[in-house]
Every structure is written in C-alpha cells, then in structure tokens.
Homo-oligomer: A and B are copies of this chain.
Amino acid sequence: MRAALMYGAGDVRVETIPDPTIQQPTDAIVRIVRTCVCGSDLHPYHDLPVSEQGTQMGHEFLGLVEDTGSEVTTVKKGDLVVASFSFQDNTCEFCRAGFQTACVHVGFFSAAQAELIRVPLADGTLVILPVDTDSELLPSLLTLADVYGTGYHAAKMAKVTAGDTVAVIGDGAVGLLAVLSAKQLGAENIILMGRHQARTDLGREFGATHVVSERGDEGIAIVRDLTYGGAPKVLEAVGHRPAYDQAVGIVRSGGVISRVGVPQYEEAPVGFGSLFGRNITLNGGPAPVRAYIDELLPGILDGSVNPGRVFDRTIGLDSTSDGYRAMDDREALKVLIAL
C-alpha cells in the first residue's frame, strides 16, 4: 500500500510499504477513504530526529472495513466506519467512567495517512457511519475522529452549560470546534482569542460572539473587561506555555481552565499566585473521543452542525507532504486527504 512516512523534521514522503494484516482476533483492517493532517502532527514535523527507516503518521481516519478478526462482532466487511484517535476496549472501568483514553488497553493510532490501517480492539474503537462513501458529510464525520471530539471535551470538562460565558484560546481546528461545542452546549457569550482573521471569521460562524486578537497582558485586560473580571470557563486549545499563562490571566476566580491543547511544557504555575489563591480548577487531557461520537453524530447527520468546515484544502495521499507544508505555513487551517 501507499503510506506517508516522516524521516525527520520537515521530511514527509509517500512510499509503498507492506499492507497491514490482522494480528489479533480483535483487530480489523480498514481501507481508508478520508484522512487528514492534525495540528499535533506539526510537532514532529518541527523536531523529529532524522531516521533511516522513517515513521508512519496520522491518527484520524474513516474508511471501509476490509477484514475483521474472528472476535470482532460490531462491524463487518464493507461497513463505512470512523475510529477515535485512540483505540480502547470501551468496556473497562476507565472506559465506563468516560475516560477511554485511560483504558487499560489504550493505544493511539499513528499510521492513518495511508491506504490501509490495522485497528486493534475494533469493537471498542470503530463506529459505523450510516452514509455512503460519496456523502458530502465525510469531512464533518472525519472530525469525529479527533478535533470535534477534542473541542467538545474541552467544553464538557469545563461543564459549559446554558447561558455561560466561555473564552476559547486558539483559533486552530480544535479551538474553532471548541467554540462550536460551547455554542451547542448553550453558551451565551463566547470569546475567541486568535489572530488569523479567516479562522476567527469561521469561529464567529461557529458561534463566537467576540474575537480578541490581542495577546499577553493586553489580551488579558480586554477579556477581563469583557467578562467583568474574568471568564468563568476557559478552553485552552493551543498547548504552548504562553497559552497556559493567558488562560490563568483571563480566568475568573472560582472558574475553570480546561485544556485540550497537548502541553508542550511539563511544569507551570499552580501555586497561590496563579491557581490556588483564586480557587481555579485546571482540567482536561486527551479527549475520550469514542465517548462523544454517539453524542455528536446526530447533529452532523441532520445538518445542524458542520464541523467539517475546518477543512479548507483537500489533497490526495501522494501530496501529503504538501499538506504538512501548507498547514505549517498557515496557508491551510486543516488539510483533508481524500483517497
């Protein structure tokens, strides 16, 4: 099959490699119909050490079931399915508690920019999509694999509810879908902090009522002013340390900072002068996307939301390298790969 491999920072090649095969009776093989490049793929694109053998990339996909192991019962050959970016049994105690990314058998996909993929724990991971492969909904359905569920997780962990005032930090795909999610959950005031007008314009369409392009102390002052002393719920969808500091700066006393941007830092202020003194709650983490697919699928199918609008460029698999470059140069918000 053809597959994208990264050989080091900035070096993505599409090559022919052996097809994946069933290895466990709980596996499935999926022939990929749509995949994409994730903002988090840009981290290795910046700093992956050079290697001889290369490493497969990608964790978001939907496609047709090609083969199933003997113990797989919920999907069969020919089903159009979407997978969460993690695979999990979806039956253990952690999965039942709604934290599938903490499943005792959890793993994370990293080979979805390819024609075929092996899906471990297929019954706990794949969800059948009730559409055909020519559906116009495929881009939106693909967002269920990660970015929509991740934005939704930010809003859920912050317990966004009707009438809320919410600030979202970051105008990437996850930030914009955090806006959409906050809107779906009933937020009344949604402040989007971001600097790229094409993106913040989409954010307004998704439900942002205010856009703040200023950063640092200036941005903090504006949000604190807009919210009469701080936003009760802050959704942090960037992952860099300045975004954390911005979140601490704009959050209201007694409020919550819900993070879904993968932290590119390990230590940060949590003491009296930052979180503790003002009773701030810090939460979030890798989204248990599997838990949200059932909840978010109906809105896509009935057309009430269109999260697939975060894709602003479509390429073929052989152009994957161009897709990375376009996202890294911020020419594209999110690149869809159609096979």
Is A316 interfacial (CB-CB < 8 Å)? no
A91 on the B face (CB < 8 A): no
A66-101: CB near B (< 8 Å → 1, else 0) gives 000000000000000000000000000110011101
Within 8 A of B (CB), among A294-323: none
Q: Quick check: is A281 within 8 A (CB to CB) of the other chain? A: yes
* Cross-chain contact of A263 among B94, B101, B272, B284 (Cβ < 8 A): B272
Q: A270 to B282, Cβ gap below 8 A?
A: yes
Give the distance to chain B from A12, nearest Cβ to Cβ, in Å.
24
The reply on A259 being an interface residue by CB < 8 A is yes
Q: How does the 8 Å CB contact mask read for A240-259 relative to B, with 1 for contact and 0 for none?
A: 00001000000001100001
Chain B residues within 8 Å of A276, by CB: 259, 262-263, 284-286
The answer to whether A98 and B284 touch (CB under 8 A), given A267-B268, A270-B268, is: no
- A window 97-120: CB within 8 A of B: 97-99, 101-102
B254 adjacent to A263 (CB under 8 Å): no
> Provided the pairs A278-B285, A283-B281 are in contact, do residues A102 and B254 lie with their beta carbons within 8 angstroms?
yes
Contact pick for A272, options B157, B262, B277, CB 8 Å:
B262
| A97, B282: Cβ atoms closer than 8 Å | no
- The reply to whether the CB of A130 lies closer than 8 angstroms to some CB of chain B is no
The answer on a CB contact under 8 Å between A269 and B266 is: yes
Q: How far is the CA of A154 from the CA of B157 in the complex (A)?
A: 19
On whether A283 and B273 interact (CB within 8 A), knowing A102-B254, A253-B99, the answer reads no
Check if B274 sits within 8 Å of A285, measured CB to CB. Answer: no
* Beta-carbon contact of A254 and B99 below 8 Å: yes
Contact of A279 among B99, B271, B279 (CB under 8 A): B99
Is residue A126 contacting chain B, with contact meaning CB distance below 8 A?
no
Q: Is A275 an interface residue (CB 8 A)?
A: yes
Q: Tell me, in angstroms, the Cα distance from A232 to B228 when the chains sit together.
A: 34
CB distance from A321 to the nearest CB of B (A): 27
In the complex, chain B residues whose CB is within 8 Å of the CB of A97: 254
* 5 further contact pairs, Cβ within 8 A, besides A98-B254, A266-B270: A266-B271, A268-B271, A279-B288, A281-B281, A281-B282
25 example contacts (A-B, Cβ-Cβ < 8 A) are as follows A94-B253, A99-B279, A102-B253, A102-B279, A259-B276, A263-B270, A263-B271, A266-B269, A266-B272, A266-B273, A266-B274, A267-B267, A267-B268, A267-B271, A268-B268, A270-B282, A275-B285, A277-B286, A279-B284, A279-B286, A280-B283, A281-B282, A282-B282, A282-B283, A283-B283
